[in-house]
Amino acid sequence: MMTNQSEFVRPVPLDRVYRILNIGPTVIVSGKTENDFDAMAAAWNTALDLDPAKAVVILDKSHYTRKLIEESNYFMLSIPTRSIAPQTLFLGSVSKNDEPEKIDQSGIRFLKDVEGLPDDIDLIEGCAAWILFERIPEPHNEAAYDLFIGQAVGAWADERVFKDGRWMFEEVPQALQTIHYVAGGRFYAIGDAIDVE
Amino acid sequence: MMTNQSEFVRPVPLDRVYRILNIGPTVIVSGKTENDFDAMAAAWNTALDLDPAKAVVILDKSHYTRKLIEESNYFMLSIPTRSIAPQTLFLGSVSKNDEPEKIDQSGIRFLKDVEGLPDDIDLIEGCAAWILFERIPEPHNEAAYDLFIGQAVGAWADERVFKDGRWMFEEVPQALQTIHYVAGGRFYAIGDAIDVE
């Protein structure tokens, strides 16, 4: 399924970012500096504002990714699909503090040759959408609650599953469903569409 | 399905509350004072801490419910199921500022005769779980971001669908699935279980 995912990646208008996060997916949070990269899984996230689009993500002090975000002031929230549930769990279970080769070992890969994508943006293969945030520094929240706030500065989605500001799970293979973590290796995939008139 | 839901309601240990919120459901936020009650829908929420259990919910300044929470210092997050998707959308679409009879008009009802439930706790029928939070006042967050933080002081769940700290959607009728709002009247229900070894 993920062969050639690159050709389906399209930019998302920032005022539609909240709709990506609204359904409450588990996300992969990543941070990078000139010489380093790390990614972790986070069920604890929410949209925070429509326009300019903002979001909240909770990042424990022990996480290696957090240090990179504090250094670079940017973080990416990527929305993993069912196709990479094992890799997502690995990213949430293993720390780069203990395992410097975490990213290689996780099995995640990055999309190549995405048309129009800036050179410094890396998109994790097998995600449904990717949102780049600039951190809004809030020292009290970060220290007291591990709560980070960001404003979206770029967003992309796989147009097979998110297009024109709408999720379209009912039209795609199960592999493209978002995943919602509970505990103990158990996720739930997103399910049926329900339209209330 | 919801006939006699009262008999299935059980307390949830507070250190398991995060698992209720982990899957990212849309919630019903309610607040009450001695003489008033209001409830609204909110897709923007997240668990914030394990133990003591905390959560974040975003409450715009225009919401009537927010005023009640600011006055009482408590709020309830209830997790609506597919069985009350229309009522949930109504609670998220109509403001008590405009419609004083909102709650009656919404069609929501409250459970009666839940064994062991304190008299001052009202549980909305058709939800999968209910979590009562004491607000942790954070004036900057509330003013700048509409971001409210609470610490859980009580939690209950319908044991058919959440028991021993685990969601059990695979064992219950569709009507008990959580719902995850996008926009325009469109929700997605929670779907398949995925267990990563």
Q: What sign does the CA torsion over B47, B48, B49, B55 have?
A: negative
The predicted structure's pLDDT at residue B3 = 65
Architecture of domain A5-189 in CATH? Roll (2.30)
Query: The tokens of B42 are what?
Result: 């909110």
Which residues of chain B fall below pLDDT 70?
1-3
Cβ separation A24–B19 shorter than 8 A: no
Task: For chain A, 197 residues long, give each residue's pLDDT as a single digit of tens.
Answer: 456 899 999 999 999 999 999 999 999 999 999 999 999 999 999 999 999 999 999 999 999 999 999 999 999 999 999 999 999 999 999 999 999 999 999 999 999 999 999 999 999 999 999 999 999 999 999 999 999 999 999 999 999 999 999 999 999 999 999 999 999 999 999 999 999 98
With a CB cutoff of 8 Å and minimum separation 6, the contacts of A181 are A26, A41, A43, A88, A89, A92, A187, B22, B23
Please name the member of A48, A187, A192 whose beta carbon is closest to the beta carbon of B194.
A187
The predicted structure's pLDDT at residue B120 = 92
ipTM, interface predicted TM-score of the complex: 0.96
Cβ separation B182–A166 shorter than 8 A: yes
Q: What sign does the CA torsion over B164, A84, A158, A13 have?
A: positive
Cβ separation B44–A44 shorter than 8 A: no
Distance CA A107, CA A28 (A): 14
Query: The tokens of B91 are what?
Result: 């609670």
Residue with tokens 């006939």, as numbered in its chain? B3
- Distance (Å) of CA A97 to CA A105, A136, B59, B122, B181: 14, 25, 37, 46, 37
Nearest residue in A to B19, CA atom: A182
Cβ separation B191–A189 shorter than 8 A: yes
The predicted structure's pLDDT at residue B2 = 52
Please name the member of B45, B145, B194 whose beta carbon is closest to the beta carbon of A188.
B194
H or E element in which residue A130 lies: strand A127-136
- Distance (Å) of CA B19 to CA A36, A126, B79, B123, B176: 32, 25, 12, 19, 16
Q: Which of these, B109, B99, B174, B60, lies nearest to A18 by C-alpha position? A: B60
Distance CA B61, CA B145 (A): 10
Cβ separation A46–B45 shorter than 8 A: yes
Please name the member of A44, A185, A190 whose beta carbon is closest to the beta carbon of B196.
A185
The predicted structure's pLDDT at residue B70 = 98
Average pLDDT of chain B, as a whole number: 97
The predicted structure's pLDDT at residue A197 = 84
